[in-house]
Structure 1
Amino acid sequence: PFGPGPVKALEHFLAMAERDGYKTRNIDNYAGDFEFGEGDEVLGIFAHLDVVPAGSGWDTDPYEPVIKDGRLYARGSSDDKGPTMACYYALKIIKDLGLPVSKRVRFIVGTDEESGWGDMEYYFAHSGLKDPDFGFSPDAEFPIINGEKGNITEYLHFAGENNGAFTLNTFEAGLRDNMVPESATAVFTADSTLAELQEKLAAFTAAENLKAELVQEGDAFRVTVIGKSAHGSTPELGLNAATYLAKFLDQFAFNGAAKVYLDTTANVLHQDFAGENLGVAYTDAKMGALSMNAGIFKFDRNSDDNTITLNFRYPQGTDAQTIKAELEKLDGVTAVTLSEHEHTPHYVPADDPLVSTLLSVYEKQTGLKGYEQVIGGGTFGR
């Protein structure tokens, strides 16, 4: 249901578990599981086998693992196949040594964690088993993550009609709402020569330390800006190609819907990682600050429904509707809509038995002081 790659990974994982003596279940290619141990309580281990798009800039094939200098290079090696396999072999060691366990362990692997979590929704509706009493996801970092911010994607809608000396035909960027766009491309007509536009682009890229290309295609010009991708929960670590492209184009005399679209992108969204320009900035003492990633841009002058996709990671104390109400105040936005899936903030106190046990084990094994953490990323831990 989520493509051939995740299904292939699921089948391979379950075949490996069968090889090692576990009785596995494939829940219609959405997810799979197996159990080990005895007991009334069930500990769930929640992992995922899907990955985010590989993007560009790889020195090796992202889907052909390479070990170099003691490190494994491949898409998903840390998110989440590497940690999944670490947990798998930790459980296998317990099984092979015959160590006693007082609870049943159910190892659950999904195939849609990076998108809409349709795998877990389907799994729990069709598993036919009692839900785990508690659990964890090997999908973050040590010593522990016991809090995750809420996650909601909201869409800004714009008109498209624009005419004049400068006319924006199309503007496109981004692959996922939870990724910083690595490249952005616009096609436009202009009352300028190719040489004049290239001179302005050269000055812009030199000032911003970016790479870009501008070419003429018939009566129009195509400009592409290259930024740097990053995870949507940490947009400040990337360079949003879309907002930089809009910043370049915003110097020209576009009008109508194009002016609104470019102005919003260049002057409101550019480097507004905390949502201050949007009026949605919020900080909670325990869970930290809200963050915003402008992930997908789609504009066509012949369409009356152009969009900018904004992904918010928000702490307790604010919510999706509060954010939406502020976005609706933006000049020129025709509508604001919300994604179908929302994850509300999740926090498990440090004195919770599972959290305190995991922290004590961390301290015993490493000799380091354990501490709680809250992240903007979302995992099956919630």
Structure 2
Amino acid sequence: MNEKIDKIVLSLKEEMFKEASNLVKIKSVQSDPAPGKPFGEGVAQALDYALKLGERLGFRVKNVDGYAGHIEYGETGKLFAVLGHLDIVPEGEGWSVDPYGGIIKDGYLWGRGAADNKGPTVAVIYALKAVKEAGVPIKNRARIILGTDEESGWECVKHYFEKEEKPVYAVTPDAAFPIIYAEKGIITYRIRMKRDLSSSGKIKVLRFEGGDASNVVPQSAVVELSPVDDETMQKLKTFRARNNARIDWSTENDRLVVRAQGKSAHGSTPEKGINAIAALLDFLRDLDLSEDVKTFVRVLASKIGYETDGSSLRIAGRDCVVGDLTVNLGTVRMNDETLEATINIRYPIYYSEEMMARQIKEALKPLDVEGEHHLPPLFVSPDSELIKILSEVYTEMTNQPATLLTMGGGTYARAVPCGVAFGPLLPGREGTEHQPDERIALDDLVTVARIYAQLFYRMLTLWE
């Protein structure tokens, strides 16, 4: 360990906390594009803030057409990169603090993006600052690449690497320590059915919507029905969701509004959440609805419903590296033209995506199914040079063995020739990403910065 660099990291921690807080205050949820702002105003503000921070700290920075940017140190040699992202999922409901307050209290930084991924990205920036300030001679280059579309479609890094070189090795502080050497394949399927407004049914569905994103377990969902009859009310009063989602309702004139309240979780671990959409599908499946809505509800309820393992889709399975396939029913929407839902699937490394897609489309007939946002699986050999370097740095800084892990989440490690996820979640810590009251311990941010400072030192000065 370079003790000089480590002491500098500790001296910068209060400044680091302040800048991480400032970045959390920017609501960088994807919105309508504008010139030079392909993912909307808030995302562009976050990218601009982070690049200006890098510039203030004495680094070269570059904005690549508003899609992404980088902070760079070093002039020659091999390129090592750290990839973070500045976009966030919507805040959702259930917060005890302002999700965009950048609040620091009780030893934590609170807010959407505090852990995923603004706080860790700022920690990495200050890790590189510590190496620069130490004045050690370097022979390689380091880039902190700032993505802006990680939560939605990865168009940011696709565009970035069309314009910029790819690193030899890279890591991302967007998962967990010690080292994530394998990640499941990820694909979102959009499920649609055209409306038939002439189809008959005793009860008309006026509104049906739930969920914020395909990769988040939906915490809330709502359906509006008309007319309100005694039979429907009796079913509602006796209905109990099998996943323990809370059901409440209200009536106004001849309309019944039914709400389901569940629990959000990351789409990679849908079994940890309570899916509000699944609960409403269960309630609706026995009602006398118009034929189009009835078909849509029946297929989704019978082939997905409360399940998170794909059993009824006939795609359930596992492999010896990353484990079980998972399915998250993320969103549902309707209008006068279409009924639509999205599912997010995390599949084992040795699966055939082509065969899986064929089976899903067959199982969900007569609904239309289209795949989008596909990320193939990631696997980096445990015997690789990158894994060896990361293991040595992690063990040196924590005095703990660098256990190799796998995950269902998807990180920017897949965007480069050889990359893995490395932090920020320390062993035994609770993951709060994509949930209400997202937060990260200030002490853990310091640990991330300390580990990454030594990693930068190793890659900039010793890597051959």
Could you tell me the TM-score, scaled by structure 1's length?
A: 0.92
Deviation string, structure 1 residues 105-145 (Cα, Å, up to 9, x no partner): 01111111111111111111233xx3211111111110011
Task: Pick the aligned partner of 2:322 from 276, 287, 293.
Answer: 287
User: Is it true that 1:174 corresponds to 2:211 in the alignment?
Assistant: yes
Between 1 and 2, higher relative CO (CA 8 Å, sep ≥ 6) is seen in 2
- Aligned-residue sequence identity (percent) comes to 37
Q: Secondary structure at the match of 1:145?
A: strand
Aligned position for 1:81: 118
Deviation at residue 224 of structure 1 after TM alignment: 1.5
> Distance in 2 between the 1:290 and 1:221 partners?
37
> Distance in 1 between the 2:365 and 2:319 partners?
31
User: Is it true that 1:211 corresponds to 2:243 in the alignment?
Assistant: no
- Flag structure 1 segments of 5+ consecutive residues without an equivalent: none
User: Is it true that 1:21 corresponds to 2:58 in the alignment?
Assistant: yes
Aligned position for 2:410: 378
Aligned position for 1:346: 378
Give the helix-richer structure, 1 or 2.
Answer: 2
Aligned position for 1:35: 72
Task: Pick the aligned partner of 1:163 from 196, 200, 215.
Answer: 200
Q: Secondary structure at the match of 1:329?
A: helix
Q: Is the 8 A contact 2:183 2:377 kept in 1?
A: yes
The one-letter code of the counterpart of 2:320 is: A
Could you tell me the TM-score, scaled by structure 2's length?
A: 0.76
Task: Pick the aligned partner of 1:189 from 226, 235, 246.
Answer: 226
Deviation string, structure 1 residues 64-95 (Cα, Å, up to 9, x no partner): 11112111111101000111111111111111
> Distance in 1 between the 2:397 and 2:209 partners?
49
User: Is it true that 1:264 corresponds to 2:265 in the alignment?
Assistant: no
User: Is it true that 1:366 corresponds to 2:403 in the alignment?
Assistant: no
User: Is it true that 1:311 corresponds to 2:344 in the alignment?
Assistant: yes
Deviation at residue 206 of structure 1 after TM alignment: 8.2
The one-letter code of the counterpart of 1:228 is: K
User: Is it true that 1:249 corresponds to 2:312 in the alignment?
Assistant: no
Deviation at residue 97 of structure 1 after TM alignment: 0.7
Q: Is the 8 A contact 2:260 2:280 kept in 1?
A: yes
The one-letter code of the counterpart of 2:389 is: T
Deviation string, structure 1 residues 224-271 (Cα, Å, up to 9, x no partner): 211111111111111111110111222323352222222233333122
Q: Secondary structure at the match of 2:71?
A: strand
> Distance in 2 between the 1:25 and 1:280 partners?
44
> Distance in 1 between the 2:188 and 2:118 partners?
26
Moved more, 94-103 or 175-184: 94-103
Aligned position for 2:144: 107
Task: Pick the aligned partner of 1:45 from 82, 97, 114.
Answer: 82
Aligned position for 1:135: 170
- 1:332/1:171 CA distance change after superposition, 3 Å: farther
Task: Pick the aligned partner of 1:320 from 349, 353, 356.
Answer: 353
Deviation at residue 18 of structure 1 after TM alignment: 1.1
Q: Secondary structure at the match of 2:221?
A: strand
The one-letter code of the counterpart of 1:112 is: D
Q: Is the 8 A contact 1:198 1:214 kept in 2?
A: no
User: Is it true that 1:151 corresponds to 2:183 in the alignment?
Assistant: no
- Flag structure 2 segments of 5+ consecutive residues without an equivalent: 1-37, 415-464
- 1:223/1:18 CA distance change after superposition, 3 Å: same
- 1:306/1:319 CA distance change after superposition, 3 Å: farther
Q: Secondary structure at the match of 1:281?
A: coil
The one-letter code of the counterpart of 1:265 is: L
Deviation at residue 199 of structure 1 after TM alignment: 5.1
- 1:281/1:178 CA distance change after superposition, 3 Å: same
The one-letter code of the counterpart of 1:224 is: R
> Distance in 1 between the 2:202 and 2:168 partners?
64
User: Is it true that 1:124 corresponds to 2:161 in the alignment?
Assistant: yes
> Distance in 1 between the 2:133 and 2:280 partners?
57
The one-letter code of the counterpart of 1:95 is: K
Deviation string, structure 1 residues 174-228 (Cα, Å, up to 9, x no partner): 22111111111112234623xx645543433587643333233443322121111
> Distance in 2 between the 1:146 and 1:368 partners?
17
RMSD, matched Cα: 2.0
Deviation at residue 272 of structure 1 after TM alignment: 1.5
Deviation at residue 296 of structure 1 after TM alignment: 1.3
Q: Secondary structure at the match of 1:254?
A: coil
Q: Secondary structure at the match of 1:296?
A: strand
Q: Secondary structure at the match of 1:90?
A: helix
Q: Is the 8 A contact 1:181 1:240 kept in 2?
A: yes
